[in-house]
Chain A
Amino acid sequence: MDTVRLVIDGKEVTTAAGNTILMAARQAKIHIPTLCYHPRLPVSGACRVCVVEVEGRPALVASCAMPVAEGMVVHTKTERVLRARRLVVDLLLASGDHNCLLCQSNGSCELQDLAYELGIESFRFPVDSPGYPKDTSNAMIERDLNKCILCGRCVRACNEVQVNEVIDFGYRGGKAKIVTAWDLPYGESECVFCGECVSVCPTGALTERQAKFKARPWKLQKVRTTCAYCGVGCQLELNVAEGQVVKVTSDYRYGPPNFGSLCVKGRFGYDFIHHPERLKTPLVREKDSFREASWDEALELVAKKFSEIRSRYGADALAGLTSAKCTNEENYLFQKFFRAVLGTNNVDHCARL
């Protein structure tokens, strides 16, 4: 691979040709803040937070989009650069309803982090929130476009990652906003609720509705696991607070098979876990109904009945259905139990259904 040498903030950096300034800087542990950039998404170069000064170039350049060149001299922290970055954040803060106190994303908001990083202490411009009504048209995704900073990550996630092609930029200038076809609310649009847009939103514009008022981001414990729906085996994170799963997320860094993408079932279909109808105790039939029983009673009864059938009719009068829902370990034990303990090969599951 061809390499390129350049100088960033006085430090000589060698990186692969074709890399961007941002990638080269990150390799060299030089921090450049970003906002519309997301490693999982194609580069947009829209927010202009990552601008840097490149010697010989009249205007500032977006480091996320600018490829490195041999001998390039880059400055990432000059007063000119910092002024431009601060202006961008000042403008964004004033462009909508960025009231962290009342925001679901407080504590996991990249705009909030940026304002802090850039040392912004007050609103430089009068706040001019567009006053869009909240989109609460569905039970899964809440859209508050007053918190949208038009970074376009959701658009790229929808069109370039999931390729659902549901949302895009609409209108122009100050009226620009993210729209579905005909500017309908999500619930009435062609949206399939994969939630990829929510997963990349840097602010509180797109949030998981069921997770609202359940737990603050810093109280969440993320447990990585494998999705329990179809056979893709998506890697996901159960976000747990006080013994409850309050939302599901993923992370592109987990790699295959899903590289951070999920579908509507994986992301939003978790609430069965804590459903009140969950079985909580063994049940034993008594005529036409069930009564609760202890594990001892229930399992003794099963052991007794299976033994009786086996001794009376032979082991092959017993049959078992193991489960495509259960783990490998459980399936293994189930067939071991049938073959080694009960003594029959009558084991199957719904592989064909």
Chain B
Amino acid sequence: MTVDELKRIKERARTFDKVEAGEVHVVVGMNTCGIASGARETMHAFQEGMKRLGIKGRVFQTGCIGMCFEEPLVDIIEAHKPRITYRHVDGAKAERILEEHLSEGKVVMEWAMAQFPNGGKPLEGLPLYSELPYNSKQKKIVLRKCGFIDPEDIEQYIATDGYFALAKALKEMTPEEVISEIIASGLRGRGGAGFPTGLKWKATREAKGSPKYVVCNGDEGDPGAFMDRSVLEGDPHAVLEGMLIAGYAIGAKEAYIYVRAEYPVAVKRLQKAIAQAKKYGLLGDGILGTDFSFDIKIKMGAGAFVCGEETALLASIEGKRGMPRPRPPFPAQSGLWGKPTNINNVETFANVPAILLNGASWYSSFGTENSKGTKVFCITGKVKNSGLIEVPMGITLREVIFDIGGGILQDRGFKAVQTGGPSGGVLPESLLDLPVDYQELSKAGSIMGSGGLVVMDEATCMADVARYFLTFTQSESCGKCTPCREGLQRMYQILDRICQGNGRPGDIEDLEELARSVKDASLCGLGQTAPNPVLTVLRYFREEVEAHIRERRCPAGVCVALIRYEIDPEKCKACGICRKKCPVGAVEGAPKVVHRILQDKCIKCGTCLEVCPPKFSAVRKV
């Protein structure tokens, strides 16, 4: 493969998304989110249906476009017509779309979500995709191809300028120039700590020792986070290309991608992508006619949260138990098998090709003073639009949650947002105008993390939230260092006691001291950040926690030990619904006899409250 051949492939494949007259392209979102929502069935329905109905054209798969809450998403592309995006397309809906839209040319407006003009005349009454509130404030660099190309077809990647950044690096730039470009772009590690990527590359290049390694950290362990998975599933070649460029820059010939075994789709697409890249001469010996050789291997992780920590990840690749070790020495000096190793996460690598193609100044034009470019987030929790988004750094949390996320589910009140995964801080409403920026988040007691955003509504108990995140971090502690292993357990015990209504004066102070010491004295990032939820809850929601201790009261009405359900004898009409629905038989009563809840039997599931007819509203939570 030469650069000229690469250009020829681009020419040839450029038209992959162009549709001939009389043909139709059906594009189905086939990331894990789509597949989990039934996209396989949908895709099958279109394939079968087109054959059956004699419709000319093809059915493609693509990655996640970000609107996981609308999956399965299907795009219909016809020549000289707008491209129509349908949401929630199951097999049955596919049938009607086949019949009405594909056969008769009638758009099924009730399921259509948006349109791309695509050279055709826009349809009236259907919003443009780019103008959807979900999209208008996003800026897609990493995700720019996700949802638009078939991740299993290298030619579509090449058609969209894929591997031209590599060609540019190999042919026109010295490794030092590549590194300078990355430094100038201001790109910082997207895995959480935010170390400047170019400086890391520089350190690895300058480190003594050979061979050197490139490692891609795809061990995405935060519950509810799927940024890396979406990139690996939707645009795996971008990650490979980023790694290739890193390899060239630091002087490495071998690389590993560490990816969770729980990501089977990502693993499969990576395997295909690596095989295709090898076949096209973009991996292997003498890449693009130069003397640069590079090989990438996949290493599957067994799902330990701590393996996202780089030294633990390296130990795991070496076949040892994934446990962190103290740094220095940093992997740049002594990493995999004691050799200089550059380790970045998936999103970081995926940024690299765009930076080289468009230049550092283009990239650094997005973002804030110290946080350049964009960041991918997974927005989840009590928010209307949950999914994958990419926003320029500096955007406010309010914009993310209310403009992109569409606000709180059931239009309840906002209570808090947690950034940065299970060890990120929980921020209150007063900080909604905080810009998303490494320093600003850190000042507020949270972290950028790898990009989790969990939105909580007013019905959330913050003591319970703190406890919840501790159950995760303390059980995922590798057990090596004392503060993290033992300290988190103790913190959990205290919080649990508080939530059980057994809190004692002094508990909050103990909790704070433990949290500070665990943060201060732990060996790795897991322990150093795990107390963040607790510390921020105590900083921003202290009164709520205090109420649990002093008044034995859970203001949000969540902690079961602190709430009671009662039936107001004045209002009860003895209809018997709650008695019948109670799963444990804790409602006493008979026809025409006012009902009563037996507190020692009640498990506080809240069913009685839910089923009590609104016109009576006899059950109340106390």
A residues sitting closer than 8 Å to B (CB atoms) are 43-49, 51, 59-62, 65-67, 80, 83-84, 87-88, 91-92, 94-95, 125, 128, 149-150, 152, 168-169, 171-177
What's the nearest-Cβ distance from chain A to residue B518, in Å? 8
| Residue contact A44 to B521, C-beta cutoff 8 Å | no
| Residue contact A173 to B489, C-beta cutoff 8 Å | yes
| Residue contact B478 to A169, C-beta cutoff 8 Å | yes
Instruction: Report if A150-B483 is in contact (Cβ < 8 Å); known contacts: A66-B328, A88-B521.
Output: no
What's the nearest-Cβ distance from chain B to residue A347, in Å? 53
Give the most central of A65, A92, A168: most B CB within 10 Å: A65
B190 within 8 A of A: no
CA distance A152 to B306 in the complex (A): 18
| Residue contact A172 to B480, C-beta cutoff 8 Å | no
What's the nearest-Cβ distance from chain A to residue B489, in Å? 5
B4-12, B77-85, B319-327, B422-430: which one contacts chain A?
B319-327
Interface string of B469-486 (1 = CB under 8 A from A): 000001111111111011
| Residue contact A169 to B520, C-beta cutoff 8 Å | no
| Residue contact A48 to B521, C-beta cutoff 8 Å | yes
CB interface residues, B 317-364, toward A, < 8 Å:
321, 323, 325-326, 328-329
Instruction: Report if A91-B480 is in contact (Cβ < 8 Å); known contacts: A59-B528, A60-B520.
Output: no
B449 within 8 A of A: no
| Residue contact B477 to A176, C-beta cutoff 8 Å | yes
What's the nearest-Cβ distance from chain B to residue A235, in Å? 31
CA distance A61 to B481 in the complex (A): 12
Instruction: Report if A84-B520 is in contact (Cβ < 8 Å); known contacts: A48-B481, A91-B487.
Output: yes
Additional A-B contacts beyond A62-B326, A172-B475 (15; CB < 8 A): A45-B481, A48-B523, A87-B521, A92-B482, A94-B490, A149-B482, A169-B480, A171-B479, A173-B474, A173-B475, A173-B479, A174-B477, A176-B479, A176-B480, A177-B479
Set of chain A residues within 8 Å of B490, measured between Cβ atoms: 91, 94, 125
The chain B residue with its CB closest to the CB of A83 is B517
B519 within 8 A of A: yes
CA distance A59 to B523 in the complex (A): 10
| Residue contact B521 to A60, C-beta cutoff 8 Å | yes
CA distance A221 to B326 in the complex (A): 39
| Residue contact A87 to B483, C-beta cutoff 8 Å | yes
Considering only CB atoms and an 8 Å cut-off, how many residues of chain B contact the other chain? Answer: 33
CA distance A168 to B488 in the complex (A): 22
Give the most central of B325, B328, B478, B490: most A CB within 10 Å: B490
B28 within 8 A of A: no
B246 within 8 A of A: no
| Residue contact B521 to A176, C-beta cutoff 8 Å | no
| Residue contact A176 to B478, C-beta cutoff 8 Å | yes
| Residue contact B486 to A91, C-beta cutoff 8 Å | yes
The chain A residue with its CB closest to the CB of B487 is A91
Which of B304, B477, B519 touches A59 (beta carbons < 8 Å)? B519
Instruction: Report if A87-B528 is in contact (Cβ < 8 Å); known contacts: A169-B480, A172-B477, A172-B479.
Output: no
B residues sitting closer than 8 Å to A (CB atoms) are 304, 306, 321, 323, 325-326, 328-329, 474-483, 485-490, 513-514, 517, 519-523, 528
The chain B residue with its CB closest to the CB of A93 is B486
Would you list 7 pairs from A and B whose C-beta atoms are within 8 A, ordered by A residue?
A43-B326, A45-B325, A65-B326, A173-B475, A173-B488, A176-B478, A176-B479
| Residue contact A46 to B480, C-beta cutoff 8 Å | yes
| Residue contact B483 to A48, C-beta cutoff 8 Å | yes
What's the nearest-Cβ distance from chain B to residue A4, in Å? 14
| Residue contact A92 to B486, C-beta cutoff 8 Å | yes
Instruction: Report if A150-B521 is in contact (Cβ < 8 Å); known contacts: A62-B326, A174-B489.
Output: no
The chain A residue with its CB closest to the CB of B325 is A45
Set of chain B residues within 8 Å of A91, measured between Cβ atoms: 482-483, 486-487, 490
| Residue contact B486 to A46, C-beta cutoff 8 Å | no
Set of chain A residues within 8 Å of B480, measured between Cβ atoms: 44, 46, 150, 152, 169, 176
Which of A45, A83, A125 touches B326 (beta carbons < 8 Å)? A45
| Residue contact B520 to A80, C-beta cutoff 8 Å | yes
Set of chain B residues within 8 Å of A94, measured between Cβ atoms: 486, 490
Set of chain B residues within 8 Å of A80, measured between Cβ atoms: 520
| Residue contact B482 to A47, C-beta cutoff 8 Å | yes
Set of chain A residues within 8 Å of B483, measured between Cβ atoms: 48, 84, 87-88, 91
Set of chain A residues within 8 Å of B513, measured between Cβ atoms: 83, 87
The chain A residue with its CB closest to the CB of B472 is A173
Instruction: Report if A48-B325 is in contact (Cβ < 8 Å); known contacts: A62-B523, A88-B521.
Output: no
What's the nearest-Cβ distance from chain B to residue A152, in Å? 7
Instruction: Report if A150-B479 is in contact (Cβ < 8 Å); known contacts: A59-B528, A172-B304.
Output: yes
What's the nearest-Cβ distance from chain B to residue A89, in Å? 9
Set of chain B residues within 8 Å of A128, measured between Cβ atoms: 489
Set of chain A residues within 8 Å of B478, measured between Cβ atoms: 169, 172, 176
CA distance A51 to B489 in the complex (A): 21
| Residue contact A47 to B328, C-beta cutoff 8 Å | no
What's the nearest-Cβ distance from chain B to residue A180, in Å? 13
Set of chain B residues within 8 Å of A83, measured between Cβ atoms: 513, 517
| Residue contact A47 to B481, C-beta cutoff 8 Å | yes
What's the nearest-Cβ distance from chain B to residue A50, in Å? 11
CA distance A176 to B488 in the complex (A): 13
Which of B325, B477, B482 touches A173 (beta carbons < 8 Å)? B477
| Residue contact B485 to A59, C-beta cutoff 8 Å | no
| Residue contact B474 to A174, C-beta cutoff 8 Å | yes
What's the nearest-Cβ distance from chain A to residue B304, in Å? 7
| Residue contact A87 to B479, C-beta cutoff 8 Å | no
What's the nearest-Cβ distance from chain B to residue A57, in Å? 11
Set of chain B residues within 8 Å of A173, measured between Cβ atoms: 474-477, 479, 485, 488-489
CA distance A88 to B517 in the complex (A): 9
The chain A residue with its CB closest to the CB of B471 is A173
Give the most central of A44, A83, A174: most B CB within 10 Å: A174
CA distance A91 to B523 in the complex (A): 16
What's the nearest-Cβ distance from chain B to residue A166, in Å? 14
CA distance A94 to B514 in the complex (A): 14
Set of chain A residues within 8 Å of B479, measured between Cβ atoms: 150, 169, 171-173, 175-177
Set of chain A residues within 8 Å of B517, measured between Cβ atoms: 83-84, 87
Instruction: Report if A46-B477 is in contact (Cβ < 8 Å); known contacts: A59-B528, A174-B489.
Output: no
CA distance A125 to B487 in the complex (A): 11
What are the 7 closest A-B residue pairs judged by CB atoms, nearest first?
A176-B479, A45-B326, A65-B326, A91-B486, A173-B475, A84-B521, A173-B477
| Residue contact A51 to B476, C-beta cutoff 8 Å | no
What's the nearest-Cβ distance from chain A to residue B159, in Å? 45
